[in-house]
Amino acid sequence: MEPIVDLDFIDNRTPEQAAACDTKVTIDSNTGRSRKLYIESYGCAMNFSDSEIVTSILFDQGFDTTADISLADVVLLNTCSIREKAEQTVRNRLGQINYHKKKKPGMVVGVLGCMAERLKKSLLEEEKIVDLVVGPDAYRDLPNLINEVDGGQKAVNVLLSREETYADVTPIRLNSNGVSAFISIMRGCDNMCSFCVVPFTRGRERSRDAHSIVREAQNLVDQGYKEVTLLGQNVDSYKWTSEDGLEFVNFAQLLEMVALVSPNLRVRFSTSHPKDISDEVLYTIKKYDNICKYIHLPAQSGNSRVLELMNRTYDREWYLNRVDAIRTILGEDCGISSDMIAGFCTETEEEHQDTLSLMDYVQYDYSYMFFYSERPGTLAARKLEDDIPLEVKKRRLDEIINKQRETSLARNKRDIGKVHRVLVENFSKKSKEQLSGRNDQNKVVIFDKKHFKKGDYVDVLVHDCSVGTLFGEALD
């Protein structure tokens, strides 16, 4: 997942993107187990995926899940530390949970994830309601930590690992639509972007056994799932070598292995890093119809000097070379999205204009857009001055957002009059008489349901659009 710092979305988030940014709460499972788990997830898609791992680990230890926090014996918040607002949201939520804990004194309250890793033991002192603090690599220890709390002790495990991938843990799908699922293929990050806290909260990069990934994809197909998204902080740097050293799999090869699980299984991935995405990956995408023609390729800035300050390890010319490769190999209709940061340290007005001109060149289908906010412990916080006034940051962000809205609408208008293959994910938000799904380029498509249902592949003739959505008619 590409690091982000402060955000303002245009209105075209897909379910995958929403999962990466919204709160997710456990569903009910009533199998007669003795204790109830309630878990909320904040932040990136990797956190949501991790919550499914946590639920699986505790399910094996006698926990059912509940969507009613008042019934919970253990309440866990899986947190994000990417920006100050994300942490403050969790602190506010802990204050609300205190109401339930007062009514149920034996309730165990824990903080998981990046915020736990960043603040460690200090979180127990700052938030008296918190009983346990667990980092992203210590979820196997949760049963022992909960036992410690049951015995009257506070509990902490924030040790980072160079080996842990949870490859042998079968996730329990939370809030699943039964159509799309995440598969975590790697953990950690070796990139040291100067604005980002992720390398310090999730540790070094390590790739999961390729065969365990394929088995998980096959298991999902057997359960009726139609789409998987391969997750990693930087999927293009995926590299797995077998213990005997005889087998090596890179990301392009892994993509092919997952695509071959079933021709009816759509394969997506997130997130790509511009320094690593290779022509081999692009040609693999082109080779298989079930690998979606969509790439999230965060730029962060369109100016080479700013990119160097961000320690992104590529310049504007390199980024444009990768975009040109995508357009040449996969065609002009391949979906491309991005992240953009406005007002990074020392950014001049001319450098901001470089970001806008990059957007004009690439013609992104959509973007995540943020203004910079300093995060404690990052390289930028230690070495650079956050010297751009807030009102300038906000004005530059508004210009980026307006530019993206214009481009998104123009890109969507190109789709009018074309037939799109859509995987139905659910009803539309506005009517049970309409269905919602996504096309190959990750765009939301709304159409009258007729006789179609969730999980169907439907050919839809697009006749209208908004900035964030395509509207069409299902073809029989």
From CA 406, how far away is CA 160, in angstroms rounded?
A: 43
The pLDDT, as a whole number, for residue 464 is: 98
Cis status of the peptide bond prior to 229, with omega within 30 of 0: no
Is 292 labeled as ligand-binding? Answer: no
Q: Which of 302, 274, 310 is nearest to 194 (CA)?
A: 310
Q: What angle do CA 122, 126, 129 make, to 5 degrees?
A: 115
465 known ligand binder: no
Residue 364 and residue 295: Cα distance in Å, rounded?
Answer: 10
Which amino acid belongs to residue 179? V
Bridge partner residues of 79 (DSSP): 113
Angstrom distances, CA of residue 411 to CA of 14, 181, 235, 333, 366 = 16, 27, 26, 9, 9
8 Å CB contact between 445 and 462 = yes
For residue 374, count CB atoms less than 10 angstroms from its CB and return exposed for 0-12, middle for 13-18, buried for 19 or more: middle
Q: How confident is the model over 134-165, as pLDDT tens digits?
A: 999 999 999 999 999 999 999 999 999 999 99
pLDDT of residue 456: 97
Per the annotation, does 193 bind a ligand? yes
Query: Crossing angle of helices 279-287/316-330, nearest 10°?
Result: 20
Task: Identify the CA nearest to 342 among candidates 384, 307, 370.
Answer: 370
Tokens of 99: 């109401």
Q: Name the amino acid, one letter, at 176.
A: S
336's enclosing H/E stretch is strand 335-342
Which residues, in sequence order, are CB contacts of 343 under 8 Å at separation 6+?
352, 371, 372, 388, 392, 393, 396, 397
Q: Name residue, tokens 């007669």.
A: 32
Measure the CA dihedral 218/223/226/230, to 10°. -50
Contact 449, 422 (CB under 8 A): no
Please list the ranges in the chain whose pLDDT falls under 50: 1-22
The 10s digit of each residue's pLDDT in 229-272 is: 999 999 999 999 999 999 999 999 999 999 999 999 999 999 99
Query: Is 334 among the annotated ligand-binding positions?
Result: no
Give kind and range of the element (H or E) at residue 464.
strand 457-465
Record the tokens describing residue 190, joined without a space: 């070796």
Domains and CATH numbers, the chain: 8-157 (3.40.50.12160), 180-413 (3.80.30.20), 419-474 (2.40.50.140)
Instruction: Tell me the torsion sign for CA atoms 380, 48, 207, 244.
Output: positive
**Residue 114 among known ligand-binding residues:** yes
The alpha carbon torsion through 182, 39, 111, 148 (nearest 10 deg) reads -120
* pLDDT on residue 3: 32
Order across the sheet with 8-9: list the strands: 8-9, 366-371, 335-342, 294-296
Is beta strand 74-79 parallel, antiparallel or unpaired with respect to 108-113? parallel
Q: What is the 3-state secondary structure (H, E, C) of 217-261?
A: HHHHHHCCCCEEEEECCCHHHCEEECCCCCCEEEHHHHHHHHHCC
Nearest to 393 by CA among 371, 370, 368, 367: 371
User: Which one-letter DSSP state was computed for residue 207?
Assistant: E
**264 touches 217 (CB < 8 A):** no
Phi and psi based region of residue 377 (left: phi greater than 0; alpha: psi -120 to 50; beta: remaining) = left
Q: What type of residue is 298?
A: P
Tokens 């080479």 identify what position? 304
CA distance 456 to 48: 25
Q: In whole angstroms, what is the distance from residue 165 CA to residue 185 CA?
A: 8
435 - beta bridge partners?
Answer: 427, 447
CB count within 10 Å of CB 273 equals 22
DSSP state of 167: T
Residues composing the chain:
476
Residues 439, 444: Cα–Cα separation, whole Å: 7
Encoded amino acid at 187, one letter: R
The tokens of 301 are what? 């800035």
Strand, coil or helix: what is 423?
Answer: strand
